[in-house]
Structure 1
Amino acid sequence: MQDILINWSPQETRVAIIEGGAVQDLYVERALERGLVGNIYAGKVARVLPGMQSAFIDIGLERAAFLHVADLHRDPSAGRGTARGNPDGPPPTPIEKRVFEGQTLMVQVIKDPIGTKGARLSTQISIAGRLLVFLPQDDHIGVSQKIGSAELRDQLRMRMQRLAGEQGGGFILRTNAEEATDDELAADIAYLRKTWGTIRERNLVSGAGTLLHEDLNLAQRVLRDLVNDETQSIRIDSQLQFDALGAFGREFTPTSVDQLTLYKGERPIFDLYNIDQEIERALARRVDLKSGGYLIIDQTEALTTIDVNTGGFVGARNFDDTIFKTNLEAAQAIARQLRLRNLGGIIIIDFIDMTREEHRDAVLAELRKQTGRDRTKLTVSGFSQLGLVEMTRKRTRESLAHMLCEPCPTCDGRGQVKTARSVCYDILREILREARQFNPKEFRVIASATVVEMLLDEESAHLAGLSDFIGKPISLRAEPTNAPEQYDIVLM
């Protein structure tokens, strides 16, 4: 069973999914930094790049968004080519023959801007409802593979074909549509078609860079996407949002309204399960395991690495069992950390080396079992020749660390700074370089207190020798606000 806690404030909404008394998922949305995935824009083609089979599209954001040829809508009557991964179909038409600079396109964001990369777009529009996803440019009926048997999926597909009629547009039945009545499905169809009609009308009268449709906010998406048969309560700590969410739920997700309650406790709602402490731990590089082992998680632009260590765990009868039990516990913790931190892209896991094949198979099976609960698309490969497990997790929004943190201004995100002695030698080299180009009366060094202290003490002989060599005095001044690597050399 799961409980959902919603902590709301005017500037930020935070959602925690609790299972077994522990936080399993975290979602954060800030009013000034709302995600763009699902938003539909009137975009203008700024540049076409035939060599990359892509185009940059201006949708009114700080950075131009990115559209790949594979994400251009393809007319179903033309067949499905290799652009969508079908090797037997005709080759896709090159992007330079399909779009041109200055062209206006209706586009939808499928990936938020991440780091220095702009948003990724698609012209294949989809609009999500409570039970269905509407595909206004297609005509096929799809059913979620998570729904029961093939026979049940065929039955649902036939029902949908009858309900959708001849008005056009395709639909995908979401997992929670498995037990929906015809009336519920028909209501969702009507809502989605009405929404699409509004989007089309706005597009006809709007200029490039206009937002045509915005996805639901985080609290509303909780009712639409996160509530399931396992949900026993949805608690929110704002009367205003409780009323608004109740009205939304009664119209679009009536089955979830009964679980919605207003939290009136004196303690902050996230204190019930120490969620703020969990967030702090999810931002740390080291994750301690109950057994005494620990994980080291390093997130970079290219990939995320997770190193498993035994630490102080010596509980098993022999070394092989100790390693095996640590790796099993690590597999469980890694799956949870991926969700809490919202880590995406390529992930490399370095489990402790295991000599027995059955141990490796068991750890891999446990990892696949635990990641099977993830709502985000994820693939796990086997052990590589180097003994590493490679996996990928779909990245559609910023990770928790990228959302809540920024690079350290002192080390610029490197995680380390030069030693005081290294900075001293940089200063001495810089003075020698300046002395060859300029002829001041004096060189004055302004640096951190630690660097100045070392120049006056351990490096004083080298400083005096340089002063004699260039024939100029060198004075020092400590600046308390300087970072360890920051210094200035002033020509007096």
Structure 2
Amino acid sequence: MTSELVVDVQPKEVSIALLEDKSLVELQSEGRNISFSVGNMYLGRVKKLMPGLNACFVDVGYEKDAFLHYLDLGPQFNSLEKYVKQTLSDKKKLNPITKATILPDLEKDGTVSNTLKVGQEVVVQIVKEPISTKGPRLTSELSFAGRYLVLIPFNDKVSVSQKIKSSEERARLKQLLMSIKPKNFGVIVRTVAEGKRVAELDGELKVLLKHWEEAIVKVQKATKFPTLIYEETSRAVGLLRDLFNPSFENIYVNNEAVFNEIKDYVTLIAPERAGIVKLYKGQLPIYDNFGITKQIKSSFGKTVSYKSGAYLIIEHTEALHVVDVNSGNRIKNANGQEANALEVNLGAADELARQLRLRDMGGIIVVDFIDMNEAENRQKLYERMCANMQKDRARHNILPLSKFGLMQITRQRVRPAMDVNTTETCPTCFGKGTIKSSILFTDTLESKIDYLVNKLKIKKFSLHIHPYIAAYINQGVLSLKRKWQMKYGFGIKIIPSQKLAFLEYVFYDPQGEEIDMKEEIEIK
């Protein structure tokens, strides 16, 4: 299996698509102005204590206060809190953490009322993004994640991933990290560190220590609350950190700044693989060029077809996700109903595992498979689902089919499920149901071009339109495009874009910024 990463950088958002054998399996999108990402750290202020929940609400700058439970304060909270108070009180001198006093661990059966008070400043880290009506979820057990290591301040232990099976390798890594880590820091050794040399681990440890030092300097200089003291790496680099493996053939990026950022990171962790990072300079939108737009349109929405006419119906509720498996109008299996049900269910298991990763669905997922009578077939389906989910990085648990034919899955949820609306509002009538004659559409485009060139004096721009319209405009030797260029100049580019609706159009300037030329006309 080969993997490719395609990064689409737009003025308002960055989206990342992971392809496995050309099939879209993960899609992540983030607004470029959004700063509430998992891993970010804040110097916040306690707004309200909730003794009944043994928790509190903390102001970290989000519209809804973030939730912090007593058990999420972490065993070393007393040491961290004392150090933060000393740092805030002395703006001139910063005491290194290696000289900090380590206090006894926080009592497991203590109460939030005896530990915190309203108005108190606390250093917190986001572990779950705002979902639906809930604010972010926080922890005070801080951690700085790298590719090989996770650094934990005020914890003097070294833990090694359980997935490293060799006892000799586990002992080697533990001894190695104990010898190079500073005092009052704990380290978790990740699975990918297996077999790595001391120089590689020491290099990443220094990077993570630098992140801590920069964060605590921001705490010392803080003049307002809340304040962001540590920002996770960009989504592109963050995804790479967790996903990168030797099977990556290519990483395509359509923005030079993000391309350099990713190239620097890959050069740092795998210098021999730096050549796989490539800057995309094609005229077509990057997702159209790699066939991703079409997969997005067909993979999201309530109904998802997979093979031979079978399909899934996916419903989202506040409490859980419900998936119904339907055989549709597929040709029945010659071996009877049981064989037909097994074939449809196994295909559904393959598609569902992809959908869970693609939409990043979390919480409780209940799947209604087609009923099967034989216990052997039900076990086959369960084993197929477990095998498919092994590629999923999120923590999950799968239960065998119940006697009602339902499979229950729980999957870690740290951010809202990806929900892409695949329906299109008519760009001409704006949902009113009546439009001007479509044959006049090219006349409308020409009037917009005339206004841009002659009134706004914009000579260079690109017009993004539906591929069918682009084919019509480019048709023939004396095409409309050629006529427009002869009349208004050769700075006009026509770009087909699959994400646009049939009579939708968008103008962009040479810097990639949208030129708003839309106008909604009331139709009588």
TM-score, structure 1 normalization: 0.76
Deviation at 1:234, TM superposition (A): 1.1
Match of 2:277 among 243, 253, 260: 260
Deviates more, 1:365-374 or 1:142-151: 142-151
Paired AA for residue 180 in structure 1? K
Relative to structure 1, the CA distance from residue 288 to residue 376 in structure 2 (aligned partners, 3 Å threshold; closer, same or farther) is: same
Q: Distance in 2 between matches of 1:407 and 1:136?
A: 48
1:286 corresponds in structure 2 to 303
Distance in 1 (CA, whole Å) between partners of 2:278 and 2:347 is 35
Deviation by residue 1:271-307 (Cα, 9 ceiling, x = unmatched):
2442112222333101112122111000111100001
Match of 2:331, SS state, is coil
The CA distance in 1 between the partners of 2:283 and 2:163, in whole Å, is 41
Alignment of 1:477-488 (within 5 A): none
Alignment of 1:322-401 (within 5 A): 322-401=340-419
SS in structure 1 of the partner of residue 284 of structure 2: coil
Deviates more, 1:289-298 or 1:244-253: 244-253
1:171-224 superposed Cα distances (whole Å, 9 cap, x missing partner): 112232223221111111111112111211211231321000110111222432
| Counterparts of 2:320 and 2:150, CA distance in 1 | 31
Going from structure 1 to structure 2, the CA distance change for 1:256 and 1:53 (only over 3 Å counts) comes to farther
- Once the two structures are superposed, the pairs formed by residues 191-340 of structure 1 within 5 Å of their partners are 191-206=207-222, 207-251=224-268, 254=271, 256-317=273-334, 318-340=336-358
C-alpha distance 233-343 of structure 1, shift in aligned 2 (>3 A): same
* 1:135 aligned to which of 148, 152, 156: 152
Is this contact kept in 2: 1:45–1:105, CA < 8 A? yes
User: Shift of the alpha carbon at 1:158?
Assistant: 1.9
Q: 1:126 to 1:253 in 2, by over 3 A?
A: farther
* Number of residue pairs the alignment of both structures matches: 399
Deviation at residue 124 of structure 1 after TM alignment = 0.3
Letter in 2 for 1:12: E
The answer (yes or no) to whether the contact 2:77–2:141 under 8 Å persists in 1 is: no
Q: For each residue in 1:330-359, what CA deviation from the matched residue of structure 2 results, as whole angstroms up to 9, or x when unmatched?
A: 000000001111111111011111100000
Equivalent of residue 119 in structure 2, options 96, 102, 108? 102
The sequence identity of aligned pairs, in percent, is 33
- Please give the secondary structure, in 1, of the residue aligned with 2:142: coil
Q: Specify which of 189, 202, 210 is matched with residue 173 of structure 1.
A: 189
How many Å separate the matches in 2 of 1:35 and 1:277?
A: 30
Structure 2 gaps of 5+ residues are: 80-105, 426-521
Task: Work out the CA distance in 2 between the residues paired with 1:343 and 1:23.
Answer: 15
Amino acid at match of 1:50: P
Tell me the CA shift for residue 238 of structure 1.
2.1
Distance 2:58 2:44 in 1: 6
Contact 2:150 2:188 in 1 (8 A): yes
Alpha-carbon distance in 2 for matches of 1:273, 1:315: 35
Amino acid at match of 1:145: Q
Q: Is the 8 A contact 2:128 2:414 kept in 1?
A: yes
Distance 1:364 1:408, change over 3 A: same
The alpha carbon displacement at 1:61 in A equals: 1.4
**1:348–1:391 Cα contact (<8 Å) kept:** yes
The corresponding residue for 1:23 is 24
Q: Given residue 170 of structure 2, which amino acid in structure 1 is its aligned partner?
A: R
Of residues 186, 205, 224 in structure 1, which corresponds to 2:202? 186
Structure-2 separation of matches of 1:26 and 1:156: 34
Between the aligned partners of 1:208 and 1:41, the Cα distance in structure 2 is 9
Call closer, same or farther: CA 1:17–1:406 in 2, change over 3 Å: closer
Take 2:310 and 2:162, find their aligned partners in 1: how far apart are those partners? Answer: 38
Tell me if the contact between 2:39 and 2:232 (Cα under 8 Å) persists in the aligned partners: yes
Residue in 1 that maps onto 2:136:
119
TM-superposed CA distance for 1:229, in Å, is 2.0
Gap change, CA 1:253 and 1:53, over 3 Å in 2: farther
Distance 2:241 2:35 in 1: 17
Q: 1:15 to 1:223 in 2, by over 3 A?
A: same
Paired residues of 1:23 and 1:273 also in contact (CA < 8 A)? no
Cα distance in 2 for partners of 1:146, 1:281 equals 36
Aligned runs of 1:155-174 on 2, under 5 Å? 155-164=172-181, 166-174=182-190
Taking structure 2 as the reference length, the TM-score comes to 0.72
Asked if 1 retains the 8 angstrom alpha-carbon contact of 2:55 and 2:70, the reply is: yes
Residue deviations 1:299-331 (CA, integer Å, cap 9, x gap): 111100001111112331201000001000000
Amino acid across the alignment from 1:174: R
Q: Where in structure 1 are there 5+ consecutive unaligned residues?
A: 79-88, 410-480, 482-492
Secondary structure of the corresponding residue to residue 295 of structure 1: strand
Which amino acid is 2:16 matched to?
A: V
